[in-house]
Amino acid sequence: MDACPNCQSTTFTKAGIIKERQRYRCKKCNYFFTVGKLGKQIDHYYVNKALQLYLEGLTYREIERILGVSHVSVMNWVKKYGIKRPYSSQYHPTYKILSQQELREYFNVAGNIKGAGVLVTELGDKFMLIKWERFKE
Ligand SMILES: [Zn+2]
């Protein structure tokens, strides 16, 4: 529980219990929300991340391992949103999960970012770095 789903404000007060779930009222926009609603928003975060990783060429199993959501869910989302990725055997993505500090150290080494594209995406409290290596043998 860290922000109002409506305006992202972090000032809210408890406003009763509804169906055994704590209800909150945002002090800024007066929006009422429950823990359940916020949970749904978190799900959306993972849908977006999963589809993003899928487009980057990762397999369902890899996405499952990284995000902790079942590969069946990921397959369903890909189907639901009609995501298609072009087939390519010339690029092979490799990835690392890094903290902000580790990310900084990684970028300090010129050899790490030369000769390949690097994409960084937020992943919970860490960052995921995807590196594209072309014509990898
Ligand atoms: Zn609000």
Q: Tell me, yes or no, whether 12 lies in a domain.
A: no
Q: Tell me, yes or no, whether 119 lies in a domain.
A: yes
- The pLDDT of residue 135 is 47
Q: Tell me, yes or no, whether 15 lies in a domain.
A: no
pLDDT band at 137; cut points 50, 70, 90:
very low
Instruction: Write the pLDDT tens digit of every residue in 104-135.
Output: 999 898 888 777 678 888 877 788 888 766 54
CA of 29 to the centre of ligand 1 (A): 4
CA of 20 to the centre of ligand 1 (A): 22
- The pLDDT of residue 60 is 92
129: domain range?
89-137
CA of 3 to the centre of ligand 1 (A): 8
Number of neighbours of residue 103 by Cβ within 10 angstroms: 16
Q: Tell me, yes or no, whether 97 lies in a domain.
A: yes
CA of 50 to the centre of ligand 1 (A): 27
Q: Which residue has the higher pLDDT, 86 or 35?
A: 86
pLDDT band at 136; cut points 50, 70, 90:
very low
pLDDT at 4 over 70: yes
Domain count, the chain: 1
CA of 51 to the centre of ligand 1 (A): 28
CA of 44 to the centre of ligand 1 (A): 19
Instruction: Write the pLDDT tens digit of every residue in 64-98.
Output: 888 888 899 899 999 999 998 876 656 667 788 89
CA of 16 to the centre of ligand 1 (A): 17
Out of 30-34, 58-62, 109-113, pick the least confident: 109-113
Name 54's Cβ contacts closer than 8 Å, sequence gap at least 6. 60, 63, 74, 78, 83, 85
Q: What is the DSSP string of 31-79?
A: -EEEHHHHHHHHHHHHHHHHHHHHHTT--HHHHHHHH-S-HHHHHHHHH
Q: Tell me, yes or no, whether 105 lies in a domain.
A: yes
Which tokens belong to 121?
Answer: 């995406």
Cα 16 to chain center, whole Å? 31
Q: What is the pTM of this model?
A: 0.56
CA distances from 33 to 11, 28, 45, 76, 110 (A): 13, 13, 18, 28, 47
Q: What share of the chain is helix, strand, coil (3-state, %, to 5)?
A: 40, 30, 35
pLDDT at 38 over 60: no
CA of 11 to the centre of ligand 1 (A): 8
